[in-house]
Amino acid sequence: MKIAILSRNPKLYSTKRLIEAAKARGHEVRTLDVLRCYMNITSHRPSIHYKGEDLSGFDAIIPRIGASVTFYGTAVLRQFEMMGVYPLNESVAISRSRDKLRACQLLSRKGIGLPITGFANKPDDIQDLIKMVGGAPLVIKLLEGTQGIGVVLAETRKAAESVIESFLGLNISVLVQEYIAEAGGSDLRCFVIGDKVVAAMKRQGAEGEFRSNLHRGGTASLIRITPEERSTAVRAAKTMGLNVCGVDILRSNHGPVVMEVNSSPGLEGIETATKKDIATQIITFLEANVEKGNTKTKGEG
């Protein structure tokens, strides 16, 4: 099988592990910088070019698209889909998961546990918005952000009003969510491949830090998750339409609540904490599912 990995940095741990796993199973693999790909959009022979070369003949593609290049990255991935290349995660599914508001609405529609979440456009509505999510402390999130960037904990009502007002005054859209104090600055990262959770770890934020991201100094440890948490993670992945993802869950007093569904989850933390070969499991999933033109959404949306 000929596999392409869309990654801007082939030296990243996750990209290196996927390359190693693919080669170990006898596949030909190539890393492509998504921003160096350019497209010929035509009705009968869509194509992608890369540094002057016409890219064709790939059987499968693994998108490792950073949040900062989501728009262009999903456009390139969509072009590969039009050419009949099987994507590990489809462009539509990645776009859904990267839009925090859209993701929350889709998860809500399926009855999946979420923190109480508010969204507004006008500063006049701030006080009712704060009341809606249970008052301070509360969490304010930019619609586009990753690795804990753009997430603010407002500990008092005054602080919440000030931060929300500032963002809305700059025409920056934010989500306002209830703060799950009982989680104690920790969350669960459930790694989903296909229709099952293949690994899970607990991420604990550094002292004094409510965000548990490993990039922010958090630590990871092996954890046993409950059947309800397992079911929540799989349902969240299916709702987004993702074959492979990391589902971040908080343990609240009213059951598991989904904080985020990550379409390009890192492998280093989860492989280190669980001692599992996640990269090889991803490649074997591709082997079992690759079929020319075998995409669920067929380029819709």
Secondary structure class of 171 (helix, strand, coil): coil
Q: What is the number of residues in the chain? A: 301
Contacts of 104 (CB under 8 A, 6+ apart): 114, 117, 175
pLDDT at 299 over 50: no
Q: What is the pLDDT of residue 108?
A: 95
Q: What is the pLDDT of residue 219?
A: 79
CA distance 255 to 253: 6
pLDDT tens readout for residues 1-58: 999 999 999 999 999 999 999 999 999 999 999 999 999 998 788 899 999 999 989 9
Q: Give, for 103, the enclosing helix (H) or strand (E).
A: helix 100-109
Q: Give, for 13, the enclosing helix (H) or strand (E).
A: helix 13-24
Domains of the chain: 2-95 (3.40.50.20), 117-179 (3.30.1490.20), 182-276 (3.30.470.20)
CB-side neighbour CA atoms (13 Å) of 171? 0
pLDDT tens readout for residues 136-188: 899 998 876 555 577 888 999 999 999 998 888 888 888 899 999 888 888 99
- DSSP-assigned letters across all residues of 192-227: EETTEEEEEEEEEPPTT-----GGGT-EEEE-PPPH
Average pLDDT over residues 209-238: 82
Q: Which residue has better confidence, 277 or 204?
A: 277
Kindly report which listed range (102-111, 178-187, 284-293) carries the lowest average pLDDT score: 284-293
CA distance 212 to 148: 8
Phi-psi region of 217 (alpha: psi -120 to 50; beta: other; left: phi over 0): left
CA distance 204 to 196: 24
Highest mean pLDDT among 65-69, 152-156, 229-233: 229-233
pLDDT tens readout for residues 178-215: 999 888 888 999 999 999 999 999 988 766 555 556 55
pLDDT at 128 over 80: yes
Residue appearing with tokens 């890192």: 266
